Amino acid sequence: MALDLDPSMLSLDLDNEGGDPLLGEQSDCQQDPTGTCRLAELARVAHDLNNLLTVGLGRVQAALDLDSVEPNARKELKVAARAIRQAQKLSRRLMGSAVAVESDEPEAIDVGELLREVGEFLLDSQGVTWEIKAGKGVEILADRSEIFRMLSNLVLNAREATDSKRGRIVLTAMHLESLTPGRAPVVRVEIRDNGCGIPEPQLNNIFDARYSTKAGGSGLGLDVVRQVVKRCKGTIDVDSRLGEGTTFTLLLPGIERQEITRHRVLLMDDDRDVGQVISAMLRTLGFDVEYARSSMEAVDLCRAAVNRNARFDLAILDFLIPGELGGVETIPLLLDLDPNISALVSSGYTSDPIVNEYQSHGFAGFIAKPYDLSELRSALDEVLESSATRGKTSERRGRP
């Protein structure tokens, strides 16, 4: 069965009949209809928990520094350290639960390596047999802590569904060819077990929040999985047969570093945070990046690149910079220095007439803010392909 990924966002259930074991007995917070007071108390508890985790991680790291630690013990300590780091990330999320909390910045994640970490953490010493099948360079761009949590929930479900004596779990990560030529591959992740299986009537409900077939279960594990898959713009499918086992299959947008490795990009954006995020995205795609916060800095970088014969292939220029020259005013200055540079204008003002007529102002393309990795890749691919047809790329620095 395929899952329709259109759920509401996950929320904490803070109903407390008889008092919370963590938050103490009933208090004035019971009269708080918004739950803000209760969330604040939860955040304080998480703060104390984070301090304890910090101490625990410090002790584990101190033990790892000892020369006398045996190899098997060292391996177990490393698994414990990874588990504590994941717990710290969760506690930090709880500490911020009284206010809006954003995920960590996306990063390139080797799914095979992360699956191995999850397997070592949850399956080693549990009696079940497990193996991992992963290709090289199977990567996605996502929040690492979220992906770890998602995979952990799926692997934990597989472990609980299998018999400790005959249980077998297979973790797989591989590339699938993209259906669109020239686009990034799709990453396929499978969690397969030979456990008890899931009855057909329950398959339609397993991803629903608060639905659980386990005694005392919260029903949040697979709902978390669904939320993370949705944020990754992926899909999830489950196939299960009673007495034979269950397979969860995820399809996630992949990245392929080999596609673009030698192109240089000049990025101009006055917002430092935006500049850092876009720079990281460009590096993930295989570009070399130099970042400028103003038109003057961009012109200086372009001039220096021309002088050392390391010209930029592309420029991404912010359309509007308050109190400074924006992209429209900057592109002619860059073209004076390097007539072969191709530029994208970047803006959230999609209805501005100048943006809609970007080609008449010297730009080769336009990309609307905000944009994700796939949208950035598509925009840059179009500009590079257009540049190649005009013979620009082959004229610079003798590159193949």
pLDDT digits (tens, 9 = 90+) for 139-192: 998 888 889 888 988 998 888 888 767 889 999 999 886 545 556 678 999 999
Q: For residue 182, what are its two tokens? A: 């020239």
**Nearest Cα residue to 301 out of 252, 348, 268, 347:** 268
Size of the chain, expressed as the number of residues it contains: 400
**Nearest Cα residue to 101 out of 31, 32, 10, 35:** 10
Res 76 pLDDT > 70: yes
Check whether the bond before 370 is cis (ω within 30° of 0). yes
Q: What's the confidence (pLDDT) of residue 302?
A: 94
Q: For residue 346, what are its two tokens? A: 């970047």
Res 11 pLDDT > 70: no
CB atoms within 10 A of CB 360: 8
pLDDT digits (tens, 9 = 90+) for 113-147: 999 988 888 887 777 889 999 887 889 988 888 89
Amino acid at 305: A
**Biggest alpha carbon–alpha carbon distance for the chain:** 75
Quickly state the pLDDT bin for 48 (edges 50, 70, 90).
Answer: low
Counting residues of the chain whose pLDDT is more than 90, the rounded percentage is 22
Q: What's the confidence (pLDDT) of residue 17?
A: 38
Bridge partners (DSSP) of residue 131 are 170
Do 240 and 249 touch, CB atoms closer than 8 A? no
Q: What's the confidence (pLDDT) of residue 182?
A: 56
Q: What's the confidence (pLDDT) of residue 154?
A: 92
Do 65 and 59 touch, CB atoms closer than 8 A? no
Q: How far apart are CA 61 and CA 38, in angstroms?
A: 34
Residues 6+ apart with CB under 8 A from 39: 12, 14, 97, 98
Q: What's the confidence (pLDDT) of residue 291?
A: 94
The predicted model gives 265-275 an average pLDDT of 90
Q: How far apart are CA 374 and CA 366, in angstroms?
A: 15
By CB neighbour count within 10 A (0-12 exposed, 13-18 middle, 19+ buried), where does 35 fall?
middle
Half-sphere exposure of 180 (CA within 13 A, CB side): 7
Res 342 pLDDT > 70: yes
Owner of token pair 């999609």: 350
Q: How far apart are CA 383 and CA 100, in angstroms?
A: 37
Q: For residue 92, what are its two tokens? A: 């930090």
Res 361 pLDDT > 50: yes
Bridge partners (DSSP) of residue 347 are 368
Do 157 and 124 touch, CB atoms closer than 8 A? no
Q: What's the confidence (pLDDT) of residue 218?
A: 39
Q: What's the confidence (pLDDT) of residue 23?
A: 37
Q: For residue 179, what are its two tokens? A: 């259906």
Res 293 pLDDT > 80: yes
Sheet with 264-268, edge to edge strand ranges: 288-292, 264-268, 314-318, 342-347, 365-368
Q: What's the confidence (pLDDT) of residue 151?
A: 92
Amino acid at 114: L
The predicted model gives 350-363 an average pLDDT of 77
Do 157 and 222 touch, CB atoms closer than 8 A? yes
If you average pLDDT over every residue of the chain, what do you get? 76
Owner of token pair 């460009």: 282
pLDDT digits (tens, 9 = 90+) for 17-43: 333 333 333 444 445 544 555 555 665
Quickly state the pLDDT bin for 337 (edges 50, 70, 90).
Answer: very high
Do 314 and 263 touch, CB atoms closer than 8 A? yes
pTM more than 0.85: no
